[in-house]
Amino acid sequence: MMKNEFPDSELEKRLTNALAKLPDAPVASNFTARVMAAIDLEESRAQRKWKFNWNWHSLLPRVSVATVALVLAGVAVNQHETSVQRRQIADSVALVANQQLPSVDALQNFDAIKRMSQPAHADDELLALLQ
């Protein structure tokens, strides 16, 4: 490894002096106008370009919070529907429990009463004999 002949501050001074002696670079007379036109062109391209950059660091917490909110809403709706169904079942059981039971006589004659409520069918054999 070679050691520098000059300390850092001395080297810095010599470089500054050498750069100061260099002549200024010639630029075109319309340099500023060309730079501004290039900036305008770049800005118009950026505006026309559809930018949709995924930023997972800000998107992921929002999606997580929305998911938790939807799950909690679903659980709440499910609990409400379950309680409504249980209330309806309890009301129907209470309605059936409050009705009076039929008498023993009605239960003994149940078959006869059931036959009376059935519609009468024409006797096909009797109709065939009459024709």
Give me the mean pLDDT over the 84-106 stretch. Answer: 88
Cβ–Cβ under 8 Å, residues 4 and 11: yes
* Window from 40-44, 74-78, 125-129 with minimum mean pLDDT: 125-129
C-alpha span between 27 and 5 (Å, rounded) = 37
Mean pLDDT of 71-88: 98
Q: Is the pLDDT of residue 71 over 50?
A: yes
pLDDT at 3 > cutoff 70:
no
Q: What is the mean pLDDT of the chain?
A: 85
The reported pLDDT for the residue numbered 18 is 92
**Confidence at 1, pLDDT banded by 50, 70, 90:** very low
DSSP string, 43-100: HHHHHHS------HHHHHHHHHHHHHHHHHHHHHHHHHHHHHHHHHHHHHHHHHHHSP
Q: Average pLDDT, stretch 3-29? A: 84
